[in-house]
Structures are given as C-alpha cells and as structure tokens.
Amino acid sequence: MKLPLQFLILLLSTFSIAQTPCVNGMAGQYPCNGMDLLSRISLNTMNASAGNDSWGWTDPQDGKEYAIMGLNNGTAFIDISDPINPIYLGKLPTHTNSSIWRDIKVYNNYAFVVSEASGHGMQVFDLTRLRNVANAPETFTEDAHYGGFGNCHNIVINEETGFAYAVGTSTFGGGPHFVNIQDPLTPVSAGGFSGDNYCHDAQVVVYDGPDPDYTGREIFFGSNEDRISIVDVTDKANPVGISNGFYGSVEYTHQGWLTEDKRYFVIGDELDESNFGFNTRTIIFDVSDLDNPVVHFEYESNDVEAIDHNGYVLGNEFYLSSYRAGLRIIDISDIENQNMEETKYFDTYPGSNSANFDGAWSVYPYFPSRNIIISDIDRGLFIVRDALLSINDNSSLSFAVAPNPAKDMVTITSKTETITHVEIFNILGQKVMDQKFAESLSENIDISKLQSAMYLMKINSTTTKRLLIK
C-alpha cells in the first residue's frame, strides 16, 4: 500500500528529530562535521525560556546515563540511556528567583546546584531518586540546602576529596568558598581564599603532574578575570597562593581545563573575540612548573568568529562550547609542539557564527557511552555522537555489533549484560524485526531479508545502535 506523501513527510520529520546523521555537512538544519544528532529536547518541553550549564551522571547501579541541564527557572534531569529517545524526568525549581546563570556539578550520586539568583545558595539533590520516576515530568524538591553564600556564579567539585568550591560569590572577595560535602546532605563551611581576584571558574585536582614540589597536594586552578590563579588548598584553614599566569590581549579570563598529564592548562577568554576581533582564540599555558606558569602558545580558529565559552579535555581532544558555533572538537595530541587542529563540530546555532552570546553554553563529553550533550541557550539540550563511533566503535558500550556495515548476518555480543530482546526499525520508524531470546551473551541475527539501507537496532529496550545493511 502506498503511503500518502504528506504522511511520509510527517514520519520522516518525526524520525529526524530522534536521529539525524551528518550527511554532506548537515544534520537536518544543523551544520556539522563528523557528528551525528541523536536527539534534542526543546526548552518548551522543559517549560523554560533559556538554557545554560550542563553536567552528567552515570548511575553506578545500572550504568544508565542522565543529562543535567541548568535552566533560567531551575534544573532539568533527562534520562539519556536511550539517546534516541531521551526522557525528560522533571525539574528542580530554582531555590529563589529565576536567573540566566546556573551551574551544576556531581559528587557521590548527588547534584549540587548554584545560581546567580539572589539568596539562592547551594541546592543538593539525590540523583538516585531518578531511578524511580513514576510519572514524568515531575517537580522535584531539594534534599538539602547550603546557605553559607547567596548568589554564586559557579561551583567546582574535587571528587577525590569531597570538597566543593563555590566561586563568584559575595564571600571571600569572589574567591573560592570551601564547602565540605563528604556527607552530601550536611554541607559544612570549610573556609575560603580571598588572596586573589574574583574567580569566575576553576578546576581542582589532587596533583600528580610534572612538578614534584606539589605531588599529592590539592591544587586549585582558577580563571580569575584577567589571569589564571594557582592555589594550594590542601589545608583549608591556610590556603596558599602559588602563582599567577598572565597573557596578552586579555579581556576576560573565563574558564580552563588541564590536559590529562597536567602539563598544560587550556583556557578561553570570553570577550577577546568581540572586543579585539580575534577568531575563536584559545590560550594554552605551560603549567609544568606551578610556580611559574607561562603561555605556551595561542590557538586561533581559521574561520570561526564565535565566542568560546566552556571547554573540557578528554584524552587527546578538547571539547569546546563555542556559543554561535556550537560544539567544536579540537585535536590536542601534538599540543607540546604547539599544534592544535579542529577535527569535528556540531553547530547548534545555524545561520551565524558571529561573536554574540547565543547558542551553545556548555558541553559534557564524559559519559561512558561517549555520547555528548550540548546545552544551548536558545534550543535546549542536544545529544550528539561521533559519526564514526556510531558505526564502528563499540568498545566502550555494553553491546558490540559486528560486522557493521553488514550484509546477511550480524552478531551482537556483550561481556556483561545478557541479550534478551532485539528490535530493528527502518528510517520511517517502522519496526521491521522483533526477536526475543533466552538470556545469552551472544546472538546471531539473520538480516538477509532486509533491504540495503540504514536501520536502528534497539537492544534490550535500552541501547540503540545504527546498523548499515549493504
């Protein structure tokens, strides 16, 4: 039976919201290079008018992945364990007023939320409650609250020590405000550091980098308006400033992240593009000597004018939310020799890459599945994935599918989770195969009767993979 054209268009458009591969530089309406769009949740769905920060949580009990997104009026929680069909579970409303600034970090299965809203303080939310949401979306309540400060720009957590560092508050001159969160439901003030500028963002680590003088110390790397600030915060009662790092054409030192060997600190200046006319610029500090950080080099995009915002390092890649230019992924494998190269991108703000404050606020690349979330100021939450991983790389996932592309037979294997149910859908979202199995770690699927095309394979109703049949 032939389907009416309008019905086909409706089905195709509905499916494209769920998964849109990057083809010829576009994933639907979004410019891309090597990144597929898995799904998007709009601000309207989350009953908000603006988005901001994002972070993630992977449930240690079952490996499910959850996106946490800051909104103007609260914090949203989304189950993305099936990234093609994410579930908006609900929202934790703001503690006081709405604000375009909200920030979230996670420790020990709790989310810690701060905001620039007056009197907001720090909200604490038990993430294990997300396991049992019966009627989504729910309106959640906070499980604890810390009122040692009011408005706050950002929160940093060292998960190794169980300390949170609130920055940009009205305490300690805007410097880090220490909070002991080892018992998440009973946060305790632990002092602060006021010996440097207002701090906008930071990273805190138990140091195991190249400078032997500080091995084992808890070191704070701050982005402090016109400088980087390195502080030894091991002794909370007596934090010690170690050094500052300065660079040229400074406008607003916004945020930075260490390379995994802790030799380099990769930072962004939020106002240099708009005020100096740079293309997107990233400054790389050599921090191998913590007493003497120096600029190693500067990386400037060849053709992107957008303002850089939040950037995170994972392995040899730097994941940068770049406002109107969306997510930019930069190869830093040769950073020692002053070489960086953009290799992939997903642009959440089609139509312009100019230096303005719209588009991608933040990105979170640390899910075990290697799916990436982008929180966009205007368009909500995006879930994207490296197109090559979507087809070929199953090493970090629960299930491996091979060969892929396939012709007559495909094998699904798992090291831990037994295979009980496999469904295959065509590009119209129609189910073309549905098989159930006795519990096994390996199953062979006969696909010889399916036409050559792209399909979606759903395994155990939780994991979705792209399957190419040739």
Residues 412 and 383 in one domain: no
Residues 128 and 201 in one domain: yes
Burial of 241 (0-12, 13-18, 19+ CB in 10 A): middle
Residue 397 pLDDT:
54
Task: Give φ, ψ of 129 to 5 degrees.
Answer: -65, -20
Q: Report how many domains make up the chain.
A: 2
- Say yes or no to pLDDT of 152 above 90: yes
- Say yes or no to pLDDT of 183 above 60: yes
Which residues, in sequence order, are CB contacts of 313 under 8 Å at separation 6+? 257, 258, 259, 260, 266, 319, 332
Residue 243 belongs to a domain: yes
Q: Which of 54-58, 166-170, 275-279, 465-469 has the lowest mean pLDDT?
A: 465-469
Q: Residue 268 belongs to what domain range? A: 24-390
Per-residue pLDDT averaged across 82-100, rounded?
A: 96
Task: Give φ, ψ of 6 to 5 degrees.
Answer: -65, -35
- Say yes or no to pLDDT of 356 above 80: yes
Residue 428 pLDDT:
58
Which residues, in sequence order, are CB contacts of 100 under 8 Å at separation 6+? 50, 52, 72, 116, 377
Residues 340 and 315 in one domain: yes
Residue 369 belongs to a domain: yes
Average pLDDT for the chain:
91
Q: How far apart are CA 179 and CA 176, in angstroms?
A: 9
- Say yes or no to pLDDT of 335 above 90: yes
The total of other beta-carbon atoms located within 10 Å of residue 278's CB is 19
Tens of pLDDT along 381-399? 999 999 877 544 443 357 8
Q: How many residues does the chain have?
A: 470
Domain boundary residue, one of 346, 367, 390: 390
CATH code at position 382: 2.130.10.10
- Say yes or no to pLDDT of 35 above 50: yes
Nearest to 392 by CA among 467, 317, 450, 455: 467
Residue 390 pLDDT:
57
Q: Is the pTM of this model over 0.75?
A: yes
How does residue 324 score in pLDDT terms, banded at 50, 70 and 90? very high
146 near 187, Cβ under 8 Å? yes
Residue 17 pLDDT:
39
Residues 53 and 190 in one domain: yes
Tens of pLDDT along 360-373? 999 999 988 889 99
Nearest to 329 by CA among 290, 280, 261, 292: 280
234 near 220, Cβ under 8 Å? no
Residues 40 and 88 in one domain: yes
Burial of 14 (0-12, 13-18, 19+ CB in 10 A): exposed
